[in-house]
A and B are shown apart, each in its own frame.
Chain A
Amino acid sequence: MSLRGGLRLDSHKARPLERPIRGVPPPTEIALALDQGSGEESVPVVKAGDAVHMGTLVAASAGAAASLHSPVSGIVREIAVRTTLRGSGRCIVIENDGNDRRAASLAPLDWRTLDEVALLEHIAAGGVAGLGGAAFPTATKLALARAARADLLLLNGAECEPWICCDDGLMRERAAQVVLGAQVMLAATGARRCVVAIEDDKPEAILAMESAVSAASDARIEIRVLPAVFPLGAEGALVTAVTGREVPHDGLPPQVGVVCQNVGTAAAVARLVQDGQPVISRIVTVTGSGVREPCNVEARVGTPVADLIGACGGSDGPELRHIAGGSLTGRILQSDTVPVTKGLNCVLVATSADLPARGMEMPCIRCGDCATVCPAGLLPQQLHAAARTDDTAGLVRYGLSACIECGCCDYVCPSAIPLTARFRTAREQQHLQDMERRRALDAKARYERHQRRLAEQAEAERRAFDEARRRARDSETGTD
């Protein structure tokens, strides 16, 4: 076990776990964001007025966006831009008829008889995406692992963020589903063994998982208990902690023979094979001192966050802030009307007591604390200096692309410099510059083709002119 840097943080997971997972009644109107958290949009295959059932495909997968299914039965009202977790984005708005009629095509899978390719196709068709937060299509990730012949399936139950406990709740209550999902994913990738990594602050989840594994009597699955250190649940850090292998920062875990999946994703795969249900709901931790009854809730994708808070007794308190994701890596929500996505693991309704206001930003005193805690082994102070001066070459040299935006440097900075936010902005700028660069290269190629075509046309015209003149001369001499 090795982890560079990191923080040992006070846990705030106890209160939501006092209660079992609670269902949230489906709302009268569902807003399915086409971007479920991966940063790319799926492609709608329905239009306004279409009738849909629970589990009907409404948007096809595209790139890093998994396919999307209707979580309720009803009528598609419109495809419109709404406020979403990422600011704003296109959503498929569905009017819920309240009947929850299931699509006829949903049926359990006899997964043991299916080969790897067929299993991957089913997982893709079920809209399974990384429920840990990235919402990247699971089938794509598993297919990469299969192509790279990864031998280890690593199930991520670390959940290192101090407020989030949806995976903890899931493992306590539905451990058997997680184990079944692991078995299906082993079959889909051809990996030989599976490690479920859980941090040692979840003794109940560890017990539940151990008994589920022994009930399934599958010797390939092993529970590994890790110390509770933030951000051990980050993919690269977890792979290193469990296997000792380091994932290149510009590479992926399959390169070192590992494929990482969240335990929630495994449970989603299990549901898909058990009763054919695609991903239409997920477990979300609703917590923070601003919520009356902090609790893990299971909500349909597309439910407004306000309904989740309502199911937890509502909120009250001074200066409430709504944060999607944890206290370190989350983003402030503009409004509580934003719909749940597959990538949303936690709604933190924080009071000023939970998250003290940051002090005023002061100059960097070069104490080096940020470098000590950085789990990616970077020098945040140097990156910050480069970001301040727009030094693109410096940002590249100090490894901006290896930053996992965990927020450890922010947490320890005595000068209260919002380092992670700066890095995020710098990264977005770099991304824009790269896009501009690509556009320019594309324009250049088209310009060159255009020039070549003009030259060819001119040449052809000249030749035709010469030909005509020669012929005219020939006919002149001929008449003589």
Chain B
Amino acid sequence: MNATTLLPAVGMAATLAVVLGAVLGWVAARLRADPDSLVEKIDVLLPQTQCGQCRYPGCRPYAEAIARREADIDRCPPGGEATVHALATLLDREPRPIDPQYGVTKPPLVALIDEDRCIGCALCLPACPVDAIVGAPRLMHTVIKSQCTGCELCVAPCPVDCIAMVEPAAHAPRTVNA
């Protein structure tokens, strides 16, 4: 047996390897599970409170962490049991109770600014993750009730403690009489 008889076989094998490799590579690139679409699917199941109780700076980052399997699905108190169940079904994991380390599920509340005490410092404006506070420096601020997610992130920055979390029904900013 000499090199000349081996050559066609080696050539054939090499060609096959190159062609099949190219096909496999193309298929892998084409059919790759899109990590963004999984994040998107997880994100829409989250309550979008943007409260950060999960220790991530918002619902989207938490969704990314779940998709990376870095965080478990039990960190969202505002979503509660319903969200855990929905996530468990989507990801085919076991549902589990919310880890109390990340807070407890409460009835939905909204922020209410005591407009008599507000000094117009504007510190709560950037704190609100969903832009639900209206105001400007040295002017009174108010919360848009329908857009407030109840994340409580505006409470801590207020230097005069004039923001309270109240039941949505009790939220009645003063109305201007015509």
Judge if B132 is at the interface, Cβ distance under 8 Å: yes
Judge if B142 is at the interface, Cβ distance under 8 Å: no
- Give the distance in Å from the alpha carbon of A450 to the alpha carbon of B147 in the complex: 13
Judge if A443 is at the interface, Cβ distance under 8 Å: yes
- Give the distance in Å from the alpha carbon of A444 to the alpha carbon of B149 in the complex: 10
User: B59, B146, B149, B178: which has the most chain A beta carbons within 10 Å?
Assistant: B149
Residues A420-450 near B (CB distance < 8 A): 439-444, 446-450
The answer to whether B49 touches A443, judged by C-beta atoms less than 8 angstroms apart, is yes
The answer to whether B48 touches A447, judged by C-beta atoms less than 8 angstroms apart, is yes
The answer to whether A444 touches B49, judged by C-beta atoms less than 8 angstroms apart, is no
The answer to whether B47 touches A447, judged by C-beta atoms less than 8 angstroms apart, is no
B residues near A447, Cβ cutoff 8 Å: 48, 50, 58-60, 129-130
Q: How many A-B residue pairs have CB under 8 A?
A: 41
The answer to whether B147 touches A443, judged by C-beta atoms less than 8 angstroms apart, is yes
Contact indicator per residue, chain A 23-54, by CB within 8 Å of chain B (1) or not (0): 00000000000000000000000010000000
Chain A's closest residue to B61 (CB) is A451
Contact indicator per residue, chain B 51-88, by CB within 8 Å of chain A (1) or not (0): 00000001110000000000000000000000000000
Known contacts A447-B58, A447-B59, A447-B60; A440/B129 CB under 8 A: no
Judge if B43 is at the interface, Cβ distance under 8 Å: yes
The answer to whether A450 touches B178, judged by C-beta atoms less than 8 angstroms apart, is no
Q: How large is the interface on A (under 10, 10 to 19, 20 to 34, 35 or more residues)?
A: 10 to 19
- Tally chain B residues at the interface, Cβ within 8 Å: 20
Residues B90-143 near A (CB distance < 8 A): 126, 128-132
The answer to whether B48 touches A450, judged by C-beta atoms less than 8 angstroms apart, is no
Give min CB distance, B150 to chain A, whole Å: 10
- Give the distance in Å from the alpha carbon of A440 to the alpha carbon of B83 in the complex: 13
Chain B's closest residue to A442 (CB) is B147
- Give the distance in Å from the alpha carbon of A146 to the alpha carbon of B149 in the complex: 42
- Give the distance in Å from the alpha carbon of A441 to the alpha carbon of B131 in the complex: 14
Known contacts A449-B131, A450-B129; A443/B50 CB under 8 A: yes
Give min CB distance, B47 to chain A, whole Å: 6
- Give the distance in Å from the alpha carbon of A451 to the alpha carbon of B147 in the complex: 16
Chain B's closest residue to A433 (CB) is B82
Chain A's closest residue to B177 (CB) is A47
B residues near A439, Cβ cutoff 8 Å: 48, 146
Not counting A441-B48, A450-B131, a sample of 17 additional A-B residue pairs whose C-beta atoms are within 8 angstroms of each other reads: A47-B178, A440-B44, A440-B48, A442-B147, A443-B48, A443-B49, A443-B149, A444-B43, A444-B44, A447-B50, A447-B58, A447-B59, A447-B129, A449-B131, A450-B129, A450-B130, A454-B126
B residues with CB within 8 A of A: 43-44, 46-50, 58-60, 126, 128-132, 146-147, 149, 178
A residues with CB within 8 A of B: 47, 439-444, 446-451, 454
